[in-house]
Amino acid sequence: MNELALFVKPWKSLSLPQLAQHVRSLGFDLIELPVRPGFPVEPQNIERDLPAAVTLLAQEGIRVLNVTADIALHDERLYNACAAAGIGMNRVMFRHGDTDYWTAEADARRQLDAALPFCERYGVQIGIQNHSRRFVPVNEMSMYHLLKDYDSRYVAAVWDPAHNALEGMDSDAALDILAPYLCVVNLKNAYWRRISGPEAKLAEWKIYWTSGAQGRASWSRVITKLKAISYSGPICFSAEYSDEERVDELIAKDLAFAQGLLGT
């Protein structure tokens, strides 16, 4: 059965005990923990604070699935801290800004290659998430192209169907391609909203992050396909909504919606 986790980025201001209480009130006991500036665990203190945070959260009934750390992949402190805390995966995304895609992918490979000795030494996996627009990878085929030469024990896929759908890609095909590489599936949803009027010379569009039932990615199709490929790994709710004032309400509804689809 799939474990359901929550990315706790929206509750940045809460202390760890407060966060644990809030996560439990939303119906979760497993989280993805940011290690980023301004969060309870900051990158410069990761070796000291990450193991302590995981211990404190465990005492409050909350487990940590993985981190998403704002720290260079060749920094051994990341792997030492994860191993000491009993955390097996760090989720990453690679931006490519103004460079061309192949140059950006080559840079991502250099970062992964530098990280591999630490992954092997400490038993920590790098989970790479697809992301729409100027990221590496941007869809399932670019994810496959990046991952196929790596051992999935150390470099694997965090597949995000919302970003996949924003690029117009089919979720069934994506999961056919990525099934051997999956370590986590993200759940959130979005659509492109036109922000210019019909009289505009050129149409302008913006991503609107919405509830699971309302976006471009069909959670029903995604979960049906996950069952078809016998995916039993974790599913992480990103809790990303353009209506930030309603995050708690919307994530509770999305959890119930997904549980209904999963039959849990």
For the segment 171-198, what is each residue's pLDDT rounded down to a tens digit?
999 999 999 999 999 999 999 999 999 8
CATH number for position 114? 3.20.20.150
Backbone phi, psi, residue 77, to 5°: -60, -35
* Domain housing 52: 4-262
Average pLDDT, the chain: 96
C-beta separation of 243 from 11 below 8 A: no
Phi-psi map region of 135: left, alpha, beta (phi>0 left; psi -120 to 50 alpha) = beta
C-beta separation of 186 from 177 below 8 A: no
Its pTM stands at: 0.94
Look at 67 and 201; give whichever has higher pLDDT.
67
Given pLDDT bands bounded at 50, 70 and 90, which one contains residue 77? very high
Given pLDDT bands bounded at 50, 70 and 90, which one contains residue 86? very high
Tell me how many domains the chain contains: 1
- Residue 1, pLDDT > 90, answer no
- The burial of 19, by beta-carbon neighbours within 10 Å (0-12 exposed, 13-18 middle, 19 or more buried), is given as buried
C-beta separation of 182 from 147 below 8 A: no
Identify which of 108, 102, 100 has the alpha carbon closest to the alpha carbon of residue 129.
108
C-beta separation of 143 from 181 below 8 A: yes
Given pLDDT bands bounded at 50, 70 and 90, which one contains residue 101? very high
